[in-house]
Structure 1
Amino acid sequence: MRVVFAGTPAPALPSLRAFLDSGRHEVLAVVTRPDAQAGRGRHVVRSPVAALADEHGIEVLTPRKASDPAFLDRLRELAPDCCPVVAYGALLPQAALDIPPHGWINLHFSVLPAWRGAAPVQAAVRAGDEITGASTFRIVKELDAGPVFGVLTEPIRPGDTAGDLLDRLADAGADLLLSTVDGVEGGLLEPKEQIPDGASYAPKVTVEDARVDFALPALAVDRLVRAMTPDPGAWAGFRDERIKLGPVAQADAERLGPGELRVERRQVLVGTATGPVRLGEVQAQAKKRMPATDWARGVRIEPGERLT
């Protein structure tokens, strides 16, 4: 099948590689978000999908909007049979959806209709779900509401960060997406409509969403930090500055007030609404990430100081 692959970040790479290596499908081009500034130096960089396409000499389309007439004209010229999609990051107009005869088939990292939206993995970790997964579905105008071709499930492990879980789903989901396109090409798959009553939503995570509220119970603090790791990174205030926090662990220790810090020889504790949690790694502004004990020695925490 002739395909145009749409995707932007690193989790889309296993799927793109699967199509490149399949020997069954011709990747005519990729569609990805425009080059953007990144890193401390704010250098302009290609998206991971664009960089991989460049390595293989594949045409890269970077429309600012998928409704741009020039982009739609080029897509019609390429005449793909199908457009597989993984985390493209932009809305697709009906004019684009109508071009490939087999539609745009999206790999979404949840078991639909649960956690429709931009951040399904973070939402599942934060909610304390025990099982999540990935789904392939045909894209329609309504957000993540199209009929589903296939599903896989994946347990969420007790210490999983969103990054850990997303890596596993991206790898397993690549096989699901490839097999879905194979089945559609062979006329072997018919998608099933989602049951809208079971829908839940996972909007894009903001930096403010990643602020840790130590007035929550320890379990909720643990889930929030893991859900925000690595992106955008959980954080809290300390001495009028923002510090990033790595995953924490619930500690068997006497109660502390919410946010209250206590430095011990081998651990740094912070209070929550229930028991304290033990800090893992800490990254102060303009500093490297380091163990919490090293950070605490460097800043010389005073009795009664808090994370806010």
Structure 2
Amino acid sequence: MPEPLNIVFAGTPDFAAASLQALLETEHKVIAVYTQPDRPAGRGRKLTPSPVKQLALEHGIEVRQPLSLRDPEAQEGLAALAPDLMVVVAYGLLLPKAVLETPRLGCINVHASLLPRWRGAAPIHRALLAGDSETGVTIMQMDEGLDTGDMLLKASCPILADDTSATLHDRLATIGARALVDSLAGIRDGSIARESQDDSLATYAHKLEKQEGDLDWQQPAEQLARQVRGLSPWPVAFTRLGEEILRIWAAEALDSPSHGLPGTIVAADRNGIQVACGEGVLRLSKLQLPGGKALEAAAMLNARRESFSIGTRLGNA
């Protein structure tokens, strides 16, 4: 029987923790975990360990948190572990050439898109924002480029009509963990097929900016609905309601003609607040005003019906 692999794992958020948990359930040995330094979180801004660190400590695995892997001392420390393989999942630090070449079998990455479709920091959100019908996970052999390495294994899934970045994130975390485990046998014995990426098909998934949440009511309702879903739970779509910022947590495009200027409330009932768009109507079903909780439309109307009367204009008009 083949020897288990000695694996170094590098990752930080919940998405990465799913892959680490899957590795811990195999015959392979996770000999060390690399993760981002603890960050302030919550109202008290208390230093909080990453989900990956918490999971590693629960299993008695050594945790390392270098500020950079360009540091010679950090590179020497990795080399001393003599890993067979390094698995990288949403780690957050660049891996220089010296690190990529340290493990006997190199470094592999669990990337949340069907490469080369979305390279970069926010592939889940960008797939939703672009209206893609399908996405997935690619297990990739890492090189010095940004998500440019050879593809080892792909696992796809449809993007559902009601998916948000949160629901898609959780589904892809599970798919990615399973694909990672499925790839290990072929990586260990060298039988896994490597496929080069077609750079001409690549799109860069830029990091999200808060300002991307600002809804432009001149746009079609379908596009705005994607914007709401793609930016939930962060940074959350928003518009102006008079002098207030109104955050939109859930919305859907209706097959209704748009009667009224874009941004005008054309109907409001317990099912939602309907807003005319450049094309079609967007029904807002979960909203949040400053200082308050996110509320379903019925509760928001009970609290502030006068703010959502028919004819009210939203946005910067």
Which TM-score band applies after superposition, normalised by the shorter structure? over 0.9
- 1:242 is aligned, of 231, 245, 258, to 245
SS of the residue 1:168 aligns to: helix
Structure 2 counterpart of 1:55: 58
Structure 1 counterpart of 2:169: 166
The AA in structure 2 aligned to 1:273 is G
Question: Once superposed, what is the RMSD of the aligned Cα atoms?
Answer: 1.7
Q: CA deviation at 1:263?
A: 5.1
Checking the alignment, whether the CA contact within 8 Å between 2:37 and 2:67 is kept in structure 1 is yes
Sequence identity of aligned pairs in percent? 38
| Distance in 2 separating the partners of 1:250 and 1:180 | 40
CA offset digits 1:136-192 (Å, max 9, x no partner): 111111110001101111111111112111211110111111121221112211312
Structure 2 counterpart of 1:139: 142
- 2:76 is aligned, of 51, 73, 77, to 73
| Distance in 2 separating the partners of 1:292 and 1:152 | 37
| Distance in 1 separating the partners of 2:313 and 2:64 | 49
| Distance in 2 separating the partners of 1:295 and 1:80 | 55
SS of the residue 1:208 aligns to: helix
Q: Tell me if 1:30 matches 2:38.
A: no
SS of the residue 1:140 aligns to: coil
Structure 2 counterpart of 1:120: 123
Q: CA deviation at 1:253?
A: 6.3
Say if 1:89 and 1:295 are closer, same or farther in 2 by CA, change over 3 A: same
The AA in structure 1 aligned to 2:129 is R
Structure 2 counterpart of 1:6: 10
| Distance in 1 separating the partners of 2:30 and 2:264 | 55
Checking the alignment, whether the CA contact within 8 Å between 1:19 and 1:25 is kept in structure 2 is yes
**TM-score (norm: length of structure 2):** 0.91
Q: Tell me if 1:199 matches 2:202.
A: yes
What aligned pairs does 1:1-308 form with structure 2 within 5 A after superposition? 1-22=5-26, 24-251=27-254, 252=256, 255-262=259-266, 264-266=268-270, 267-299=272-304, 300-301=306-307, 304-308=311-315
SS of the residue 2:143 aligns to: coil
**TM-score (norm: length of structure 1):** 0.94
| Distance in 1 separating the partners of 2:203 and 2:258 | 37
Q: CA deviation at 1:293?
A: 3.1
SS of the residue 1:279 aligns to: strand
Where in structure 1 do 4 or more consecutive aligned residues deviate above 4 Å? none
| Distance in 2 separating the partners of 1:304 and 1:171 | 45
The AA in structure 2 aligned to 1:145 is T
The AA in structure 1 aligned to 2:8 is V
